Amino acid sequence: MALENIILEHEKGIATIFINRPEKLNALNRATIQELHETLKLVDENPEVRVIIITGSGEKAFVAGADISEFAHFTSVEGSQLAAQGQQLLFDFIENMKTPVIAAINGFALGGGLELAMACHFRIASENAKMGLPETSLGVIPGYGGTQRLPQIIGKGRAMEMIMTAGMIDAETAKIYGLVNHVVPQTDLFSTYTTIATRIIKNSPVAIAKAIEAVNANYISGVNGFDVEIKNFGDCFATDDFKEGTTAFLEKRKAEFK
């Protein structure tokens, strides 16, 4: 698979995906969204990949937004199609992947960039990171899930303020809001997400996939998340991972999940 805008690295169960358009501050265009989808699908199907990291190339930006030049002259129908296709192809796809996806925010995460980070299962930021949804300053609203995921993560009031003011917040504020889990010096970003990923890898990949599905169920209209949890809990009992985990516990040794 030839990649023009993506760099993929894989080592010790961790697949790191770099969005590589530094001259555009890694802005998302349709080609990059397609490449991200194809890369994520590939690594999600690879049993040797246990954790996925998404980050930006360079030191300035994670993703500084969508590529406005692509849609500045769209009609309303074309705009709706752009949002629908992007959400299905990338943002909803990431949220529902069975492999954990961590956003390592290494700089500006604005507009579509913040929406990409929010679609990941959780986020880590470097101290220089800035985050925001500036779409209303362009006469439009977030279209890749920002109006839905931001209030889910930080609460309705704070989300409303961020969207209405089109302003940016710094990494420490994002941590206080619960938008990111950790804030570290930029030089420590790699070691931090590697340490967290290594801890995840020690646990059952089957159970983690079931947990992701159960947590996400709470945010699906018409779905009872407790029912999904009950089903997924029961499903785990029929897996080799459950047998290995419980046997290892009773034998007072560390479990070895495949």
Catalytic (active-site) positions = 115, 135
- List Cα–Cα distances, 99 to 39, 107, 110, 182, 224, in angstroms: 13, 24, 25, 20, 23
Cα 154 to chain centroid distance, Å, stands at: 16
Reduced 3-state DSSP string for the chain: CCCCCEEEEEECCEEEEEECCHHHCCCECHHHHHHHHHHHHHHHCCCCCCEEEEEECCCCEEECCECHHHCCCCCHHHHHHHHHHHHHHHHHHHHCCCCCEEEEECCEEECHHHHHHHHCCEEEEECCCEEECCHHHHCCCCCCCHHHHHHHHHCHHHHHHHHHHCCEEEHHHHHHHCCCCEEECHHHHHHHHHHHHHHHHCCCHHHHHHHHHHHHHCCCCCCCHHHHHHHHHHHHCCCHHHHHHHHHHHCCCCCCCC
Sheet holding 108-110, edge to edge: 61-63, 108-110, 130-132, 168-170
Residue type for position 237: F
